[in-house]
């Protein structure tokens, strides 16, 4: 992995740069405990992961707040609970509350000094804008699910992102993808023959399972963005 081989770096955002799992778990746990229900963190997160994948496959253009609201109802049904409309709405608009990992902003700033940066995200435009602001508005190229008309692991994000970069005179072989999700990012990048790095954050698991995840083959694995950038730029 030679930093001189690339002119652009694209990112999976949620899980890689934005630490969304604790916020999702906190919101869901507060709600189910108030309802007198019980489910451990692993099962709760697995239920959310299955629900979001289900609704994304049903409606590729569904805005992410609707995905979150639908996932909320899915989990309520699994637990035999009535949907609390106020909690469901609050969960649906919670994206702006999800904070970056402590190392994300500095790592991105260091990379932006030398590379064109892109975001390939399953978020809708309005929701992603909130996260982008938290990350310092660092991305030169942005492909959302709303733009692509699809959700990863569809290849549309990748093809559209590479097409935009090609128009900027950056060919696909000069683009590195960096991601946390094996299912939605690493495997699709493999299928396109694109170089891809896996950020395997400790204690985080969304995107590590599901169709195709077991076939994912990153070229390198790092536990943090800080360790990746330090090694990449040395």
Query: How confident is the model over 56-99, as pLDDT tens digits?
Result: 888 777 889 999 999 999 999 989 999 989 999 999 999 999 99
Residues carrying an active site annotation = 12
Query: How confident is the model over 214-226, as pLDDT tens digits?
Result: 999 999 999 999 9
pLDDT given for residue 161 in this prediction:
98
Q: Which domains does the chain have, with CATH numbers?
A: 3-19+99-232 (3.40.50.1000), 20-97 (1.10.150.750)
- Which residues have a Cβ under 8 Å from the Cβ of 159 and sit 6 or more positions away? 192
């Amino acid at each position: 992995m030679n930093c001189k081989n690339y002119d652009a770096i694209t990112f999976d955002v949620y899980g890689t740069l934005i630490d969304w799992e604790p916020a999702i778990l906190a919101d869901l746990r507060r709600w189910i405990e108030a309802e007198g229900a019980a489910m451990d963190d692993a099962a709760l997160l697995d239920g959310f992961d299955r629900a979001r994948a289900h609704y994304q496959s049903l409606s590729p253009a569904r805005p992410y707040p609707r995905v979150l609201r639908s996932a909320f109802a899915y989990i309520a049904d699994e637990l035999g609970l009535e949907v609390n409309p106020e909690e469901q709405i609050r969960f649906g608009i919670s994206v702006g509350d999800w904070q970056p990992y402590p190392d994300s902003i500095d790592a991105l700033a260091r990379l932006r000094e030398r590379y064109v940066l892109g975001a390939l995200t399953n978020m809708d435009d309005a929701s992603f804008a909130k996260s982008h602001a938290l990350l310092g508005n660092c991305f030169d190229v942005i492909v959302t699910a709303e733009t692509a008309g699809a959700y990863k692991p569809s290849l549309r994000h990748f093809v559209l992102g590479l097409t935009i970069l090609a128009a900027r005179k950056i060919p696909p072989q000069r683009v590195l993808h960096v991601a946390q999700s094996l299912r939605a990012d690493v495997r699709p990048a493999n299928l396109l023959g694109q170089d891809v790095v896996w950020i395997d954050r400790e204690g985080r698991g969304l995107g590590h399972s599901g169709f195709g995840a077991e076939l994912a083959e990153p070229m390198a694995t790092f536990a943090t963005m800080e360790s990746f950038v330090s090694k990449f730029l040395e």
